[in-house]
Amino acid sequence: MTNSNKNKIVLVTGGSGFVGIHCILQLLEQGYTVKTTLRSMNRQEEVKDMLRVGGINSFENLSFIETNLSKDDNWSEAVKDCDYVLHVATPISLEVPKHENEVILPAVEGTLRVLKAAKEAGIKRVVLTSSFAAVGYSHNDPKTLITEESWTDPNDKTLSAYLKSKTLAEKAAWNYIANEGKGLELSVINPMGIFGPSLGPDLSSGFEVLKQMLDGSMKAIPKISFGIVDVRDVADLHLRAMTNPAANGERFLAFTGEIISLPQIAQFLKDNLGSKANNVSTIILPNWAVRIIALFNDKAKNIVPQLNRVKNASNQKAKTILDWKPRTSKEALLASAESLFQFGGVKI
């Protein structure tokens, strides 16, 4: 496999991010030449340090280019000579913006900027990292099976700006391919909550909820359920979608296949981490309490629409078409917890 990939060049956008760095790691392991975009070239050593943690010690097949999703500069240079693009980078903010367009416009325009550059450069295929946010946030009936055919309704008034931005950015990508991007292939990955091992101390936003459980700052646990997926499996799915002819024009839901609740996660940490989980609370926060907190807390306000909603979803498509074999939720959670201990997020 390695030799045949030697001459293939892949651009990974957002190489310093949680998913991006795992994509780069697996591409280099498989013998690809990788270019990656960074918002600042000052982060090159940080990326190399993370790759060293992952077992890569030679960087002759890795190069960096400075770009920003909100500007045209350097994108034509970034995609030059590449065979594939993994568009992983996304503007992300957990803060609630003053206006939703502060989040939506950069997501939509950034995606189109990358697709247009790829089209002009004659790239074979772009794999876009979207989100379950674009698939399953308008479906409240647990009897409804959410699949890749499902879409979140961007006009749903309960959506946060971030959820709406992921939906509109992916819709914009498919519209571009249908109307202007003829000849450019597109595959889309829609992950649920991404956990798993971090390769460095700059922990992704998904770790925050586990951190608050483990350090005891989350005194009571809201009744929220979601699917999770290990970051290593998200990266693996990107690589499978990049090269498999059957992935062209398709979306793939990425999660372990299990929907899990925050109270279940808290109990799991208690059961599996021994004294390291001494600070984990298993007290359940009633829905009415979350609603009261939401009156003066924006983060709580964002989770109110998800209370008691169970997403009944399927990961069958990725397993069937791409022979994808994801790790379990437990493996992903334990790897995340270990990263929190390792990189000082949580003191033992």
Backbone phi, psi, residue 296, to 5°: -130, 15
* Residue in 244, 140, 251 with CA at minimum distance from that of residue 190: 251
DSSP assignment, residue 306?
A: G
**pLDDT of res. 4:** 66
Q: Which active-site residues does the annotation give?
A: 166
Predicted pLDDT of residue 1: 45
- What share of residues in the chain are helix, strand, coil (percent, to 5)? 45, 15, 40
Q: What is the mean pLDDT of the chain?
A: 90
User: pLDDT by residue (tens digit) across 257-283?
Assistant: 998 999 999 999 999 999 999 999 998
Amino acid sitting at position 23: C
By percentage, how much of the chain surpasses pLDDT 70?
92
Q: In this predicted model, what pLDDT tens digit does every residue of 158-204 receive, in sequence order?
A: 788 888 999 999 999 999 999 998 899 999 999 999 999 999 988 88
- The structure's pTM equals 0.93
Q: Structural domain boundaries of the chain?
A: 2-204+228-257+311-327
| pLDDT tens per residue across span 54-112 | 999 999 999 999 999 889 999 999 999 999 999 999 765 556 667 788 888 889 999 99
Query: Which residues neighbour 115 within 8 Å (Cβ) at sequence distance 6 or greater?
Result: 87, 126, 173, 176, 177, 181, 184, 186
58-62 long-range Cβ contacts below 8 angstroms, 24+ apart: 61/28, 61/31, 61/32, 61/33, 61/34, 62/24, 62/28, 62/33, 62/34, 62/35, 62/36
Q: How far is CA 238 from the centre of its chain?
A: 11
d(CA 332, CA 328): 7
The three-state secondary structure class of 225 is: strand
What would the pLDDT profile of 175-185 be if each residue is shown by its tens digit? 999 999 889 99
**CATH code of the region 2-204+228-257+311-327:** 3.40.50.720
